[in-house]
Amino acid sequence: MGAITESTIEIDFAAGISAPPPELDLRPEHLEFGRITAPLWFRAWYRNGAWERGRVEPWHTIDLHPAAIVLHYAQEIFEGMKAYKMPDGSAALFRPDMNAKRMNRSAARMAMPEIPNQLFIDGIRALVDCQRKWIPNPPGSLYIRPTMIGTEPCIGVRPSHEYLFFAIVLPSGSYFPGVPIGSTGTVRVFVSETVGRAATGGTGDAKAGANYSVTLQVIGEAKRKGCAQVMFLDSHGERTVEEMGGMNVFFLRGDTLITPPLTGTLLAGVTRDSVLKLAPTLGIKVKEERIVWDELLAGVKSGQVSEAFACGTAAVITGIESFVLEDGSEVSVGGGQCGPVTQKLHDTLRNIQYGVSKDPFGWVVAV
């Protein structure tokens, strides 16, 4: 695979990149997450064993043969990132190298070609740079969705020989409807005790579309119960906590934050990793450990577990108000309010992401 240089990224300046139309409301509180797509995308083809030149251009529908491998064997992966507007009006990404590395781990698991780091990072930066005016003011953000699909037409259970890597961006407000933008807020969470998300040896640690499709039925059931998310237990009957439908989870037990370890069945979240590194600098103890649901539930009921929160790129850090069980019972966490540790982590992380506070980790990367 040849080295990627600046000349491999093309930008269609003739596209007339401009500010949002006057009728488009980019106020964060009026933006529904995932609904509005900015006019440009970045795309690059993998053909004949090599990556072709990437290009920023107006996005268009994708022509796929009915026999395209992605349509039949779900050979697809994606990432979730954000761009933020800094206090001086500039734009920045948050830990893009970690997203690039995770996407390539997913690619390896799904028998897809590695995306050169420079192609990934330079393509995303160029895409965001061309659409700076689409980044909402804080506390809004520009959500970035890099994706790769197997496009070769072939009805045969094998990897594709041709791939499309692309990224779209979406101006976004709060991930959870009803949670005030810029606030941690709280949500009710349904606990899936009988339906698993991933199995040992499977693809649980890959950010593959198939991992999310198997959760849709349970998420639909959760929403009918008035819950915003689902928390999954392991699939081998030990009733250990794994992760949520699209994010990781933490609990405050006594004075220590705990979260499940990376065992190969859950995703290595960027926000999860950030919390693990950030918490000790704030004087908060943190530990990765196997968490048995029944023991955790007893701790929630007794008050020993006083806080819980979901975390991910889209949701940032969102407090958990209560857990709803399959038998219909509901258990409140810490009185159903966002706890002080959750709030402190939320505020500190967001201030780093938006350039309000000093970034001691070098996580924020200028566009």
Name the band, by pLDDT with cuts 50, 70 and 90, for residue 172.
very high
pLDDT exceeds cutoff 70 at 284: yes
C-alpha to C-alpha distances, 188 to 267, 284, 308, 345, 359, nearest whole angstrom = 22, 25, 11, 20, 32
Q: How far apart are CA 225 and CA 219, in angstroms?
A: 10
Name the band, by pLDDT with cuts 50, 70 and 90, for residue 15.
low
pLDDT at 184: 78
Q: How far apart are CA 345 and CA 277, in angstroms?
A: 11
pLDDT at 16: 52
Return the bridge partners of 81, or none. 144
Mean pLDDT of 247-263: 97
Mean pLDDT of the chain: 93
pLDDT exceeds cutoff 60 at 19: no
Q: What is the pLDDT of residues 127-159, one digit of tens each?
A: 999 999 999 999 999 999 999 999 999 999 999
pLDDT exceeds cutoff 50 at 2: no
CA 231-236-242 angle, 5° bins:
25
Whether residue 153 contacts residue 145, with contact meaning beta carbons closer than 8 Å, is answered with: no
pLDDT at 209: 95
Q: Which residues contact 235 (CB under 8 A, 6 or more apart)?
A: 196, 197, 198, 199, 200, 265
* Higher pLDDT pick, 174 / 99: 99
CA 250-256-261 angle, 5° bins:
45
pLDDT at 137: 94
Q: How many CB atoms lie within 10 A of CB 48?
A: 8
Q: How far apart are CA 181 and CA 201, in angstroms?
A: 38
Q: What is the pLDDT of residues 203-250, one digit of tens each?
A: 999 999 999 999 999 999 999 999 999 999 998 889 999 999 889 999
pLDDT exceeds cutoff 70 at 3: no
Whether residue 78 contacts residue 267, with contact meaning beta carbons closer than 8 Å, is answered with: no
Whether residue 122 contacts residue 93, with contact meaning beta carbons closer than 8 Å, is answered with: no
- Mind listing the domains of the chain with CATH numbers? 6-172 (3.30.470.10), 186-353 (3.20.10.10)
Q: How many CB atoms lie within 10 A of CB 190?
A: 26
Q: What is the pLDDT of residues 39-97, one digit of tens each?
A: 999 999 999 999 999 999 999 999 999 999 999 999 999 999 999 999 999 999 999 99
**Can you spell out the DSSP letters for 313-339?**
TTTEEEEEEEEE-TTS-EEESGGGS--
Global pTM value: 0.94
pLDDT at 4: 42
pLDDT at 352: 98
